[in-house]
Chains A and B, each alone.
Chain A
Amino acid sequence: MAADPTGTLPLLSEQNIVASRQMVRALCQELKLSLVDQTKMITAASELSRNALIHGGGGRMRWEFVERNGRRGLQLHFEDEGRGIEDIALALTDGWTSGSGMGLGLPGSKRLVNDFEIQSVPGAGTRVSITKWK
């Protein structure tokens, strides 16, 4: 499957999480990432997609290929208009959870990628951007 260089997928159901993993796999293959890097990026995407669905009440994943200093990378944005995160530092702590999860989603995905950015406004929503460089 040749993936579009930029695009958006909805994250409104569990099926969409499966679709986002499959899309990220295709995008990683397009970038010719190593198998380990592909696995890490798909796993991070799965965690963040589930976060957007469960904690954000649904949202979307946007993707784009980016370039910096002659290196190509894949950038993914997970956006929702949910209740947001009050304390981002706390949410990035291993094992801290607001619900029934294990509290690994955010801190774990951060470790799996090269760049990780999070913006959240309580009551307005959350955006997490991750990048994996080739």
Chain B
Amino acid sequence: MDRIPILRMGDILLVTIQVDMQDQTALQLQDDLAGQIAKTGASGVMIDISALEIVDSFVGRMLTSISGIARILSATTVVVGMQPAVAITLVELGLSLDGVKTALNVERGMEMLRCTRLENALGR
């Protein structure tokens, strides 16, 4: 089974999914990220899915639960780089990724995490 690497950049954890994941790999990533957030005290998680050609309900559910777990551990998750065809398919499949923050690309995702951190610091 492949294991998706998690990179640390300051207080942000960066994950780039570049393989067609088995279900187990997706679940492992969820566990690994929860562990890394707790260990590093990261304030943000960025998941780059620009290399993913499909997102089915299993991976969609994994993205939703990572966002939820991270939020409880006081970190913000942003999913970046979704391909247009994937977005169209997800909506038709009936998956709206409720509660998952998304951004068009890594740059905007970083901006979003910076803004969220600032708002949190100001207590809003």
Choose the segment among A10-18, A58-66, A76-84, A117-125 that binds chain B (4+ C-beta atoms closer than 8 Å).
Answer: A10-18
Return chain A residues, CB-CB under 8 Å to B36.
none
Q: Is B56 at the interface (CB under 8 A from chain A)?
A: yes
Which residues of the partner chain A approach B94 to less than 8 Å between Cβ atoms? 94, 104, 107-108, 111
Given A15-B22, A50-B23, A111-B93, verify A43-B88 contact (CB < 8 Å).
no
- What is the interface size of chain A, counting residues whose CB is below 8 A from a CB of the partner? 27
Interface of chain A residues 53 through 104 with chain B (CB within 8 A): 94, 101-102, 104
A131 interface residue (CB < 8 Å to B): no
B54 to A: closest C-beta gap in Å? 5
A12 to chain B, nearest CB (A): 13
CB-CB under 8 A from A101, the residues of chain B are 57, 61
**B20 engages A18 (CB within 8 Å):** yes
A94: chain B residues at CB < 8 Å are: 94
B53 touches A104 (CB 8 A): no
A residues 12-47 touching B (CB-CB < 8 Å) = 14-15, 17-18, 21-22, 25, 35-36, 38-40, 42-43, 46-47
Instruction: Name the residue in A15, A38, A46 with the highest tally of chain B Cβ atoms < 10 Å from its Cβ.
Output: A46
A94 to B83, CA, bound (A): 25
Shortest C-beta distance, A27 to chain B (Å), equals: 14
CB 8 Å contact bits of B93-113 with A (1 = contact, 0 = none): 111000000000000000000
Whether A36 contacts B89 in the complex (CB less than 8 A), given A102-B61, A111-B94, comes out as yes
Question: Contacts A17-B22, A36-B85 known; A25 to B53 CB distance under 8 Å?
Answer: yes
Cβ of A128 within 8 Å of any chain B Cβ, yes or no, is: no
Whether the pair B85, A46 counts as a contact (CB closer than 8 A) is: no
Q: List 30 A-B contacts (CB under 8 A).
A: A14-B24, A18-B21, A18-B22, A21-B20, A35-B85, A36-B84, A36-B89, A38-B85, A39-B86, A39-B89, A40-B88, A40-B92, A43-B93, A46-B56, A46-B58, A47-B56, A47-B93, A50-B23, A94-B94, A101-B57, A102-B57, A102-B95, A105-B57, A107-B94, A108-B95, A109-B93, A111-B92, A111-B93, A112-B92, A112-B93
